[in-house]
Structure 1
Amino acid sequence: MHTVQPIKRIDQLEAMKQILHKRSKRDYCLFLIGINTGMRIYDLINIRVDQVMSQANEIHPYLQKSSYLDPPIYFNQSLQALIHEVIEKSDLKREDFLFKSRKSKAPITRQQAYRIIHYAAEEAGIDEPIGMHTLRKTFGYHAYTNGIAISLIKKRLQHQTTTETRHYLGISKIDSSEVKLDINL
């Protein structure tokens, strides 16, 4: 079994986004939520519409799921718009899974999610081993390089120590030249 890595290069992330966007809104949404939230794949594929959409058909800014409360899963404006589009385009009901299988009412399987991500990575020319932890690792790596405290990333990834988180993300040493404390007021 290969150890998978985060996708560190922005151009590769953009290429994967374009490939998935052309292929399927559902698959594109799966990828974007994965790399923007750091959720575990099991939790990601099991999101239900009623956990992201209010009774008034508005997308919640936070996932309504108890296993991610500290810190909660936040959906930025672009993710909220995409989620709403996926729900409308797929004609999903409140009790449906957001990433519903095309063959049944069940969510897509972990294996199908892997095929989706692996296909996009191959098409984007990514040679490094890719797996379902790639999405979480990509989230954590880019959060870290954009100045998010490792302690917060540790909490999101539900790790016990910051050392475990650094090892998971492939950050062997603290390189402050990679961190950007970008405040754009």
Structure 2
Amino acid sequence: MGIIVGLRISDLLKLKFKDLVDDRGNVLDVIRIKEAKTGKTKTFSINKSVKRAVNEYMKEIDHWPEKFFFSSRKGDNKAISRVQAYRVINEACRIAKIKGSIGTHTLRKTFGYWAYKQGIDITLLMRIFNHSSPAITLRYIGITQEEINEVYINLNL
């Protein structure tokens, strides 16, 4: 889910079922949250694969509107910590045989990287990430000068 919606881990971990599901148990098309870092309201659509994953998850666990989506097994209705999220992500990467340095912020950066690679305009990504310039966004998502140079080398009009 984190790679597909591009949220900061702090915002992802504070999601509750009421943020994702309506009163009848239907997964919402559009999600609205207040970003922890900026205090701004962020509105975004979720795709079919996220909806499917949320529906499957709801079949497996007890849930109610105020329950955290990524809830800890420790204590009453607490979200998992950033440290636990890091462990879960790294265990999933180990199982999938994904190598490299993977952190909780990697989810958000991966969203941006692949959106850019699929042709999403950098100024739109800049707005999604609340960055002040395209250069910051390019650096953030890991686009290198070599990749930029390849565009010029390979473009044939």
Structure number with greater CO (CA < 8 Å, separation at least 6) is 1
Distance 1:123 1:56 in 2: 35
Distance 1:122 1:38 in 2: 22
Cα deviations by residue, 1:47-92 (Å, 9 ceiling, x for unpaired):
011111111211111113133755x222111211211221232111
Distance 1:123 1:98 in 2: 23
Could you state the TM-score of these two structures normalised by the residue count of structure 1? 0.71
Distance 1:123 1:151 in 2: 35
The answer to whether 1:99 aligns with 2:63 is no
The answer to whether 1:42 aligns with 2:13 is no
The answer to whether 1:167 aligns with 2:128 is no
Aligned length, in residue pairs: 144
The answer to whether 1:88 aligns with 2:59 is yes
Determine the structure 1 residue equivalent to 2:45. 74
Determine the structure 1 residue equivalent to 2:88. 116
Q: Structure 2: state its 5+ residue gaps.
A: 153-157
Going by fraction, where is strand more abundant, 1 or 2?
A: 2
Could you state the TM-score of these two structures normalised by the residue count of structure 2? 0.83
State the AA in 2 paired with 1:141.
Y
The answer to whether 1:58 aligns with 2:26 is yes
Name the Cα RMSD after superposition: 1.8
Quickly say closer, same or farther: Cα 1:57–1:123, change in 2 above 3 A: closer
